[in-house]
Amino acid sequence: MSTYLVEGGFPLKGSVAVHGAKNSVLPILAAALLAPGECVIHNCPDLSDVEASLAILRHLGCSARREGTSVIVDASAPTRWDVPDRLMREMRSSVIFLGAVLGRMGRASLCAPGGCELGPRPIDLHLAAIRALGGTITEEPGGMLCQGALHGADIVLSLPSVGATENAMLAAVCAKGTTTITNAAREPEIVDLQNFLITLGARVRGAGSSVITIEGGAPLHGGSYTVMADRIVACTYLAAAAAAGGEVEVTGVDWRTLSTVTAVLTEAGCAVRSQPGKIALRRDRPLKGVRPVRTAPYPGFPTDAQAPVMAALCKGSGCTVFVENMFESRYRHVDELIRMGADIRVEGRVAVVYGVPRLHGAQVRSSDLRGGAALVVAALGAEGESRIEDLHHIDRGYQCLEGDLAALGARIRRVAEDRKT
């Protein structure tokens, strides 16, 4: 086990490049299963969730290896259609393999997925999409068996679920006929998946809008593709600069995908300058409360940005109300922030943050990916040293977070922790 030691109170300064997007590369790796050939995926971050996906691909009979910042997947001859419990438990988004395995192999056996504990994330929408495409689903002890010949269909999602949209897209690529997905998720990562599928020869259009059309049955082949930058990592670095003070430039990210986040940080008192491929933030005065922040599907305020931005706004003046509309149990970081001196009141999906003059270092524990990143953000703006434990959550979505922050001037280091005592 590892721990972060963070000595707060040092402004950040410099430029940092953002690695590839976790929420793009995971469905893209699943999509690589569809192509009978070699896929070269560039800008692929070295994350524990990525390693879990590569392990699933290898179990299915694919070749998967890393070469620097690229991953090469050869799905010429997959041999299995099951994903065992030990692999599914590694990450919640492992359910994304459902559509790909079913589409390529004609059947799929999956167990319940694992990952962060953010309250119920029912996969009903995923299963409804599979059924609409002609798949039959049989419950098994601890999992399910999906099989059947897939055909085009008109799918209407009751909610714009990112995962259900991706699963429907992957399955529909292999279905005979045309599929339309209405009320589809509009996230940039959906557009990235569409562009990768097009690289493989699929006929997909409409991603980024609420209606996606897939003409299934096109012959697929391998290809080379570069994954988009991770907008939530970029948001975390911007929040870190807002918390610690200083001036930071984040490069490689499309500023338009973070406009709702930069609007909040600007209102809080930061000077933000957005240009093609980069966002610069300067904070040289105390932060202040802002109008209510309500998480929503894209292009609204991203739920993954809620915790890091909340952490930045803990120190300052005024009051900010956060309304979490996407997931239950997404305020697990609040108790840890309170240990650092934050004043936060939670009632259901609403958290009210009262700014305080200072935060102090404390021993805290991350309980999920973005909540863990929020503790790092808060620690950078706190007085004294903080110990942040359970870094495996953070490692799911950040590639060497401590290295990037240290390069900006943060006093942060990772130390091994012996828990045998």
Task: List active site positions.
Answer: 116
Q: CA torsion angle for 372, 376, 312, 343 (degrees, to 10)?
A: 70
Q: Using alpha carbons, list the distances in angstroms from residue 115 to 7, 334, 397.
A: 29, 20, 11
Tokens of 292: 């209510």
Helix (H, G, I), strand (E, B) or coil at 219: coil
Classify residue 66 by burial, with Cβ atoms within 10 Å: 0-12, 13-18, 19+: middle
Is residue 246 a contact partner of residue 11, using CB atoms and an 8 Å limit?
yes
- Angle, CA 97 vertex, CA 91 and CA 103 arms, to 5°: 175
Spell out the residues 6+ positions from residue 96 whose beta carbon is closer than 8 angstroms to its own: 26, 27, 30, 163, 166, 167, 170
Q: Write the DSSP assignment of 314-350 as a string of letters.
A: TBSBSEEEEE--S-SS--TTHHHHHHTT-EEEEETTE
Q: Rounded distance, CA 189 to CA 90, Å?
A: 21
Is residue 123 a contact partner of residue 95, using CB atoms and an 8 Å limit?
yes
Helix (H, G, I), strand (E, B) or coil at 200: coil
